[in-house]
């Protein structure tokens, strides 16, 4: 599913999965060596804004709160979900979904993690609608959650929704009912002290602008011997990626949580003492054309714009070859279950673009001028925005760049105040849910403001079926509509790289910058040699 | 009436002589002359940018390459030529400097002269200037630029708006001492209008201070513009020295590719240092006591 926008995209999660999937209850303790007194220091570029995982929307918020509040499911690089807090899940009938939970997880104050906590979290999100909460959008078809037993959660649905269990299971952080309930309204609960965590770590001290210290919590079933290997995690705040890289080189930090700028990857791969780890991408970067704009409502103009982008150059120069084409489809090839390998990317063809513009009534006599917004905090997008502008100029389209501060950008995006929106989604793991949010009228991230009855019908049908083959057909047809009509111009899926000191190993790699090697299971297993 | 005219003429003649003497003294100062040379070169580079280097756009194959014969200043993270960026950046940097300092000087001088000439207005103007001078300028610039959105006009207005109080302060103190001089009283006795007196007598007397202010304000404007651009508040549609630095920071190239930051910084340093030296040399040359030494 998706997330609300790159940044927004939050999420980090508990990934305990890779191991969890095959041996959920038998932690591998063969050579982990068990607990140590080591401290793992991680660099980040932003402070925690919200300690309440139901509100947060910055990367650091998510990285840190996910170490304290578990998820029901984890995810692998192909979008497949695997058990975490939930042992298994499914539907008892089309409008009743369930998760069965494991019974060996405890909050740090000794109380067990139960189905009651999960049901409370879901019902509170539905009731209080916390700002920027990713799960809220996924709960549209959910009426309520209940806990018939301490290890079973049931969802009552208003109408069939085949993706709700996996999506909510992956995106939602479960919070302790006994801590959050007394606040009355979870959307207003600051949760900024006396944290109660289910592990692997718990915040113990905060020095704003400097560091966040977390200490080990036991038992944590996804670490060797139920005990996270390192005793402490310290997140240190640096002004930008340059200072982070310097700090890593000097040995001040052991790991940089932020993905490396593409042009720095090669450089760091050749630096002694530093190991660069590839993180598979699971989202995409795109431009959407605001269909409320009279020119952009014309499919010919959108196609002209799509033909005026040199996708190959963006991937080879800006991304240094670290990007993968999706064939202009919103289903990236990594989602093998759903991807349509026959989808063809729009060709970079200035003449064709000019011809389409002429057919649409634009040309030298009636030039087309558009504005494009993007977030200045998004370095990669800021770079390719310039290439897009230069190439569009060759086709006679003037694009005025409006790079802006992230908050202004989000506000403009929400208000629909742009001609072209450029940005990216960190995780688009499930085409059905993604498309519902991206292309249905009123969808939380429908930045094209598209409302096409044919597309709406395909997406709704995909949501209504639990038959994988039928679902695949619906989403592939929908993706084709999106591509052919340029309801979305998906440019690439980026594989990321993070750097850490070569003294550390044992990290578990998860897709996207949100999970990467900083998700809970990975940090619980990291060890110093 | 005739006497008055004769008196005026002699004042004018005196000024021409003073200007000549100043220029003669200025020429004898090697630092001043070298600085003027540097400034002229920068302005020529800015004006002739299209003849010197191709406009840096698109991308190149060799990213983050060090200085070489093909790329004198190396390339940035998109493989663009940094020499071309610095050359074209000079254009925008100098345009911003010229426009915003012109605007700041215009506002600053008018306010200063009015304040000095009309004592009643001075109390109010003095307070406003003091207030403006005590504002934290950079955070306010950032705020305004962020709210208004990055563009050339925004930058010019923001910088000018926060630079004029400094001009007013300098010009006003000079003007205050001039209005007390006997020839100002004499001018008033002739029955001339206030506007005429200010234009003919007060402004010429403070002109040297204004010249110094122009140079200093312009160089400060370059720094402000670069500072804002470095924070991402520059105009993303054109090149400036601050934007080169900003791109280097964004791409994480600062610690591995020194050339991405050194050359635009050198350009700024040259401009600011030469502007400062010119104003110092000019001040020395204008001061008869310094001249005699």
> What CA–CA distances, in Å, run from B74 to A199, A226, A371, B258, B262?
49, 53, 31, 10, 11
Per-residue pLDDT averaged across A169-193, rounded?
A: 94
**Start-to-end Cα distance in chain A:** 37
Query: Are the beta carbons of B64 and A263 separated by less than 8 Å?
Result: yes
Report CA B235 to chain centroid distance, whole Å: 19
Of A25-39, A242-256, A374-388, A393-407, give the lowest mean pLDDT range.
A25-39
pLDDT of res. A455: 96
Query: Are the beta carbons of A387 and B78 separated by less than 8 Å?
Result: yes
Query: Are the beta carbons of A242 and B249 separated by less than 8 Å?
Result: yes
Distance from CA of A305 to the nearest CA of B (A): 17
* Any B CB within 8 A of A19 CB: no
> What does the buried/exposed string (b/e) look like for B31-47 if buried means 16 or more CB atoms within 10 Å of the residue's CB?
ebeebbebbeebeebbe
* Option in A267, A376, A390 nearest B232 (CB): A376
pLDDT of res. B208: 84
Q: CB of B46 within 8 A of CB of B99? A: no
Residue with tokens 């927004």: A8
* Residue pairs between chains A and B whose CB atoms are closer than 8 Å: 79
Report CA A300 to chain centroid distance, whole Å: 32
Q: Three-state SS for A287?
A: strand
> What CA–CA distances, in Å, run from A506 to A228, A252, A371, A522, B275?
12, 20, 46, 7, 57
Report CA A473 to chain centroid distance, whole Å: 25
Q: CB of B207 within 8 A of CB of B83? A: no
* Option in B79, B232, B252 nearest A317 (CB): B79
Q: CB of B264 within 8 A of CB of B85? A: yes
DSSP one-letter code for A183: G
> What does the buried/exposed string (b/e) look like for A346-369 if buried means 16 or more CB atoms within 10 Å of the residue's CB?
bebbbebbbbbbbebebeeeeebe
C-alpha A175/C-alpha A196 separation (Å) is 9
Task: Pick the residue of A241, A256, A398, A401 with the most B CBs within 10 A to test the interface with B by mutation.
Answer: A241
Distance from CA of A295 to the nearest CA of B (A): 22
Task: Pick the residue of A260, A315, A317, A385 with the most B CBs within 10 A to test the interface with B by mutation.
Answer: A317
* Any B CB within 8 A of A234 CB: no
C-alpha B214/C-alpha B227 separation (Å) is 20
pLDDT of res. A39: 96
Query: Are the beta carbons of B237 and A401 separated by less than 8 Å?
Result: yes
* Any B CB within 8 A of A210 CB: no
* Any B CB within 8 A of A401 CB: yes
- Structure tokens that stand for A270 in this block: 């050749």
Query: Are the beta carbons of A379 and B232 separated by less than 8 Å?
Result: no
- Structure tokens that stand for A237 in this block: 């705040």
pLDDT of res. A77: 77
Report CA A439 to chain centroid distance, whole Å: 18
pLDDT of res. B7: 46
Q: CB of A139 within 8 A of CB of A123? A: no
List residues in chain B touching A: CB distance below 8 A: 57-61, 63-64, 77-79, 146, 149-150, 232, 236-237, 247, 249-256
Distance from CA of B237 to the nearest CA of A (A): 6
* Any B CB within 8 A of A246 CB: yes
Highest mean pLDDT among A31-45, A258-272, A401-415: A258-272
Comparing CA positions, the residue from B56, B234, B248 lying closest to residue A402 is: B234
Query: Are the beta carbons of B232 and A405 separated by less than 8 Å?
Result: yes
Residue A219: asked if its preceding bond is cis (omega within 30°), the reply is yes
Q: CB of B85 within 8 A of CB of B248? A: no
Q: Three-state SS for A69?
A: coil
C-alpha B222/C-alpha B159 separation (Å) is 9
Per-residue pLDDT averaged across A101-110, rounded?
A: 95
| Greatest alpha-carbon span in chain A | 74
Read off the pLDDT of residues A323-359 as tens digits, 9 standing for 90 and up: 999 999 999 888 888 999 999 999 999 999 999 999 9
Read off the pLDDT of residues A218-270 as tens digits, 9 standing for 90 and up: 899 999 999 999 999 999 999 889 999 999 999 999 999 999 999 899 889 99
Domain ranges for chain A, please list them: 1-87+173-280+498-529, 284-494
* Option in B58, B149, B251 nearest A379 (CB): B251
Read off the pLDDT of residues A129-147 as tens digits, 9 standing for 90 and up: 988 788 888 898 999 999 9
Report CA A474 to chain centroid distance, whole Å: 24
- Structure tokens that stand for A149 in this block: 């037993």
Query: Are the beta carbons of A263 and B253 separated by less than 8 Å?
Result: yes
Task: Pick the residue of B234, B247, B251, B257 with the most A CBs within 10 A to test the interface with A by mutation.
Answer: B251
* Any B CB within 8 A of A218 CB: no
Residues of A (80-139) whose Cβ lies below 8 Å from B:
none
Examine the pLDDT at A29 and tell me if it is beyond 50. Answer: no
Residue-wise pLDDT tens for chain B (293 aa)?
Answer: 444 444 444 455 555 677 788 888 888 889 999 999 999 999 999 999 999 999 988 788 788 888 998 899 999 988 899 999 999 999 988 899 899 999 999 999 999 999 988 888 888 988 988 898 888 888 888 888 878 877 788 889 988 988 999 999 989 988 998 888 898 888 888 888 888 988 888 888 888 888 888 888 988 888 988 888 888 888 888 899 999 999 898 888 888 899 999 999 999 999 999 999 998 898 888 876 665 54
Comparing CA positions, the residue from B162, B165, B265 lying closest to residue B221 is: B162
* Option in B58, B64, B255 nearest A242 (CB): B255
Superfamily of domain A1-87+173-280+498-529: Periplasmic binding protein-like II (3.40.190.10)
Bridge-based pairing state of the strands A201-207 and A152-157: unpaired
Per-residue pLDDT averaged across A6-11, rounded?
A: 36
C-alpha A451/C-alpha A453 separation (Å) is 6
Helix (H) or strand (E) holding A206: strand A201-207
Long-range CB contact pairs, A316-319, < 8 A, 24+: A317/A387, A317/B59, A317/B60, A317/B61, A317/B63, A317/B78, A317/B79, A318/A262, A318/A380, A318/A383, A318/A384, A318/A387, A318/B59, A318/B78, A319/A262, A319/A380, A319/A492, A319/A494
pLDDT more than 90, % of chain A: 74
pLDDT of res. A27: 42
CATH number assigned to the domain covering A284-494: 3.10.105.10
Mean pLDDT of chain A: 89
Examine the pLDDT at A6 and tell me if it is beyond 60. Answer: no
**Start-to-end Cα distance in chain B:** 41
Query: Are the beta carbons of A317 and B255 separated by less than 8 Å?
Result: no
Q: Three-state SS for B206?
A: helix
pLDDT of res. A18: 34
* Option in A261, A404, A408 nearest B252 (CB): A261
Read off the pLDDT of residues A448-468 as tens digits, 9 standing for 90 and up: 999 999 999 999 999 888 888
pLDDT of res. B16: 61
Planar angle of CA A389, A393, A395, nearest 5 degrees: 125
* Any B CB within 8 A of A402 CB: yes
The Cβ of residue A313 has, within 10 Å, a number of other Cβ atoms equal to 17
Superfamily of domain B18-56+73-292: MetI-like (1.10.3720.10)
Distance from CA of B147 to the nearest CA of A (A): 8
C-alpha A343/C-alpha A358 separation (Å) is 26
- Residue A5's pLDDT band, with cuts at 50, 70 and 90, is very low
Which residues in chain A have their CB less than 8 angstroms from residue B77's CB? 261, 263, 383
Query: Are the beta carbons of B236 and A317 separated by less than 8 Å?
Result: no
Which residues in chain B have their CB less than 8 angstroms from residue A245's CB? 252, 255-256
C-alpha A456/C-alpha A478 separation (Å) is 9
Examine the pLDDT at A11 and tell me if it is beyond 50. Answer: no
C-alpha B281/C-alpha B25 separation (Å) is 9
């Amino acid at each position: 599913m998706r997330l609300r926008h790159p940044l927004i995209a939050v999420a980090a999660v508990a990934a305990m999965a890779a191991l969890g999937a095959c041996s959920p209850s038998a932690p591998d303790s063969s050579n982990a060596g068990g607990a140590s007194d080591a401290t793992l220091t991680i660099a980040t570029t932003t402070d925690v804004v919200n300690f309440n995982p139901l509100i947060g929307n910055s990367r650091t918020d998510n990285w840190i709160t996910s170490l304290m509040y578990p998820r029901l499911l984890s995810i692998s690089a192909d979008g497949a979900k695997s058990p975490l807090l939930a042992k298994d899940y499914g539907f008892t009938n089309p409008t009743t979904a369930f998760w069965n939970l494991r019974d060996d997880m405890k909050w740090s104050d000794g109380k067990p993690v139960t189905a009651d906590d999960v049901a409370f979290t879901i019902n509170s999100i539905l009731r209080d609608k916390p700002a920027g909460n990713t799960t809220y959008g996924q709960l549209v078809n959910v009426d309520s959650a209940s806990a018939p037993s301490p290890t079973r959660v049931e969802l009552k649905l208003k109408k069939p929704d085949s993706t709700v269990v996996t999506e909510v299971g992956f995106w939602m952080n479960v919070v302790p009912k006994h801590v959050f309930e007394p606040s009355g309204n979870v959307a207003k609960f600051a949760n900024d002290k006396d944290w109660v965590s289910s592990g692997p770590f718990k915040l113990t001290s905060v020095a704003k602008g400097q560091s966040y210290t977390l200490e080990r919590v036991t038992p944590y079933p996804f670490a060797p011997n139920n005990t996270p290997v390192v005793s402490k995690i310290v997140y240190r705040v640096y002004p930008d990626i340059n200072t982070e890289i310097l700090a890593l080189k000097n040995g001040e930090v052991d790991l940089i949580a932020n993905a490396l700028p593409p042009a720095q990857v090669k450089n760091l791969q050749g630096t002694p003492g530093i190991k660069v780890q590839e993180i598979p991408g699971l989202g995409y970067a795109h431009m959407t054309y605001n269909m409320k704009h009279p020119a952009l409502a014309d499919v010919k103009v959108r196609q002209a714009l799509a033909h005026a982008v040199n996708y190959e150059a963006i991937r080879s120069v800006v991304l240094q070859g670290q990007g993968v084409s999706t064939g202009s489809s919103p289903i990236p090839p990594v989602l093998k279950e759903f991807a349509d390998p026959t989808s063809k990317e729009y060709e970079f063809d200035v003449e064709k673009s000019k011809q389409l513009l002429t057919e649409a009534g634009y040309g030298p006599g009636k030039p087309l001028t558009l504005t494009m917004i993007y977030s200045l905090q998004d370095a990669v997008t800021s770079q390719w925005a310039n290439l897009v502008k230069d190439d569009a100029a060759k086709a006679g389209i003037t694009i005025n760049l409006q790079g802006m501060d992230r908050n202004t950008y989000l506000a403009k995006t929400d208000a629909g105040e742009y001609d072209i929106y450029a940005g990216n989604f960190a995780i688009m793991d499930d085409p059905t849910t993604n498309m519902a949010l991206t292309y249905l009228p009123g969808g939380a991230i429908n930045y094209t403001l598209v409302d096409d009855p044919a597309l709406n019908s395909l997406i709704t049908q995909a949501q209504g079926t639990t038959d994988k083959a039928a679902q695949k057909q619906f989403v592939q047809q929908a993706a084709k509509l999106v591509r052919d009509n340029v309801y979305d111009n998906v440019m690439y899926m980026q594989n990321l790289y993070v750097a850490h000191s070569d003294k550390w190993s044992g990290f578990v790699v998860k897709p996207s910058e949100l999970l990467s090697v900083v998700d809970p299971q990975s940090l619980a297993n990291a060890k110093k040699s | 009436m005739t006497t008055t005219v004769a008196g005026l003429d002699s004042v004018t003649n005196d000024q021409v002589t003073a200007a000549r003497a100043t220029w003669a003294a200025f020429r004898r100062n090697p630092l001043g002359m070298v600085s003027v040379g540097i400034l002229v070169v920068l302005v020529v580079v800015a004006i002739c940018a299209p003849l010197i280097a191709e406009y840096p756009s698109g991308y190149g194959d060799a990213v983050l390459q060090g200085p070489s014969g093909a790329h004198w200043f190396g390339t940035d993270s998109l493989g663009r030529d940094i020499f071309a960026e610095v050359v074209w950046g000079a254009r925008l940097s100098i345009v911003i400097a010229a426009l915003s300092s012109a605007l700041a000087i215009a506002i600053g001088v008018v306010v200063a002269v009015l304040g000095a000439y009309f004592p009643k207005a001075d109390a109010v103007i003095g307070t406003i200037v003091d207030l403006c001078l005590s504002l934290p300028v950079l955070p306010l610039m950032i705020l305004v630029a962020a709210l208004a959105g990055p563009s050339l006009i925004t930058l010019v207005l923001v910088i000018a708006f926060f630079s004029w109080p400094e001009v007013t302060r300098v010009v006003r103190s000079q003007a205050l001492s001039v209005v007390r001089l006997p020839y100002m009283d004499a001018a008033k006795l002739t029955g001339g209008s206030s506007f005429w007196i200010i234009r003919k007598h007060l402004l010429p007397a403070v002109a040297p201070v204004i010249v110094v202010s122009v140079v200093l304000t312009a160089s400060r404007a370059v720094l402000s513009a670069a500072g804002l651009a470095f924070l991402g508040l520059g105009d993303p549609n054109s090149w400036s020295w601050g934007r080169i630095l900003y791109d280097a920071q964004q791409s994480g190239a600062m610690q591995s590719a020194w050339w991405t930051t050194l050359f635009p910084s050198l350009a700024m340093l040259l401009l600011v240092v030469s502007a400062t030296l010119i104003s110092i040399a000019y001040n020395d040359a204008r001061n008869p006591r310094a001249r005699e030494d």
